[in-house]
Amino acid sequence: MKSQGGNKRIDAQALCDITGTKYYKHNEEIDYNDDKICKVFDENDGYIGDIRFADAYNEAKVIKKDIVLRNGNRDPPILKIMNYKLELLKRLFMKLGRNVNTDKEMKSKAIRLATSISVHDLENKKRQAQ
């Protein structure tokens, strides 16, 4: 019999909840019209320019990255082109590493994670690392 929960993929919202970081709208969740002018930055915080939302969104899709709404309260809004889920996973690794390294009695542990890990498996690995 096949497990029902094994096919569930972890999403960006769950990674933000686990790491305790703020969740930002990204990709299709951003509901601007195509002609909205936005300030766009790359993943290294390099300023790309003031670009129409449709052009920025298409640019992100072409290079297979996400477009993340970093600040929608400003005029023009600030967007960042980056691999959002990978950045959240890096933060999770840092958090797990910090928990392991602060306890001097514990030995260091290596954890292998895939981007398609389920929420349940991720929570188990986190418990095992502590």
pLDDT of residue 39: 93
Taking the alpha carbons at both ends of the chain, their separation in whole angstroms is 31
Residue written as tokens 């999403």? 11
Number of C-beta neighbours around residue 105 at 10 A: 4
Distance of alpha carbon 1 from alpha carbon 120, whole angstroms: 19
Distance of alpha carbon 30 from alpha carbon 38, whole angstroms: 12
Beta bridge partners of 51: 38
Query: Does residue 113 or residue 56 have the better pLDDT?
Result: 56
Per the document, the length of the chain is 130
| Average pLDDT, rounded, for the chain | 81
pLDDT of residue 27: 87
pLDDT band at 127 (very low <50, low <70, confident <90, very high): confident
For the ranges 1-10, 34-43, 87-96, the lowest mean pLDDT is seen at 1-10
Q: Residue 97: CB partners within 8 Å, gap ≥ 6?
A: none
pLDDT band at 7 (very low <50, low <70, confident <90, very high): low
Tell me the residue type at 121.
Answer: D
